Structure 1
């Protein structure tokens, strides 16, 4: 809900840190590092051993830090590109999709008696899938982004955005024993966000149809 405001705040805080980076480090390097740290987070979570117990959370927090830094660095240097934005979002979606099932797999590995509610995992993944369809359909229709929007594609506000997702996923890493509860709760919240975005897109599509119809008859 607060992502657009927080991106501006993040840039004000992160720009001095990004100025300390050598010129040879680009935003794409940070994007790649974020993706690798995300893979390490879900990989160590899936292994779920006592020797690795703290590393999933450490790698996940590193992923979040680097994921925020790449955009800040690109805007600070004026080097933001469409490809960079695509790679950033692709990495996010891959990691977000892997977190619930990999944490669940780690639960099963940790104890033969562990019961994983795979229905909750499946429901959350389905909610992600539907939300991504609606989100990017809106992005295709709304070709022009507001001037104060800092993402590579237009992101309509909703109940669950980057901040809320990050907090819920962090809670999953800290308390994986409550994974099913987090998945059910996030599924409901993401579904409500889908309803919010559909409420926005339907009138926009009707206006688009009216404009196209007027053009055909003129």
Structure 2
């Protein structure tokens, strides 16, 4: 799935990170100070925190925004109820971080949750524990302020805390700004480097395959 957070150049940023304890996701509060056209400083604070069940309506909204950006809005078949069930039940299928801004910096629509990173754990038979980042998204009005980078870096921090050896994700081939950014941070393009193809069974194909089980 497309990772959409870096459509605009990243602004210069100054930050501190506060730990919430062993094994928990860190919370980042950052003061963003981009230089405006008239050379004055504008400051915005935001925090990166673990998502809560009550965030699922905002996460659903941003999932649809991301699908529209990817030109595949018809592919979204879930809503906040499935997100609550699958992410916040006794055996969660995924973990999620959200980026939140103070009310005074809310979006024109009044939203304070302005980005998210959704991920889950996988396993490599060659290397061991891994994290797969399914989505990384920041609302357009809040791009270029380091929020996407902060979300991704926090997922990487979780990976290190959980002794994972890989952070993996996929990017659509036409999303060159995001792809260039990830490569500049040290990511490897496995399709280009090793020839891997990302395959999927779903719908009728998945049902037919399941019928072949003994």
With the length of structure 1 as denominator, give the TM-score of the two structures. 0.24
With the length of structure 2 as denominator, give the TM-score of the two structures. 0.25
Larger-Rg structure:
1
Q: Choose between structure 1 and 2: higher helix proportion.
A: 1
